[in-house]
Amino acid sequence: MASLVKWENIIQEKNKNLSYSEYSRTILSWLPFVLHKNNGMISRFPKSDRIKGVVKSSEFDKNSDDLINNGIDYSGAGLFADFSRLFRSIDLPNMMHFYGYENADYADVIG
């Protein structure tokens, strides 16, 4: 724990000497920005057997109240196996838009 506090202090001291533009580039570099073509849309999710499908964010938001109906019974195979099965049973939004921003179809996460 002490070594974590030590590194936090080193990073804080380093960030105090950065200009705002350098600091923002540092913070933004923590989140990788990778987009994929998936189901004819730009998506943050690659084509994979782990993902059932990708739908437009607006369609996902419109149907989000129905997600509660996608529950599955515990199979005894283990938490991660059941979670994986549940995760593959739903379509994911092509992007993550919160609060219904317009004209944001090519942004990774909007909030």
Is 88 a residue whose pLDDT tops 60?
A: yes
pLDDT tier at 97, thresholds 50, 70, 90: low
Q: Residue 5 has what pLDDT? A: 87
DSSP H/E element including 68 = none
Which residues face 92 on adjacent strands?
A: 54
Q: Radius of gyration of the chain from Cα atoms?
A: 19
Task: For the chain, give the mean pLDDT.
Answer: 77
Q: List C-alpha distances in Å: 58 to 26, 37, 47, 90.
A: 31, 18, 20, 15
Check: CB of residue 44 under 8 Å from CB of residue 94. yes
- Pick the closest to residue 108 from 31, 21, 48 (CA basis): 31
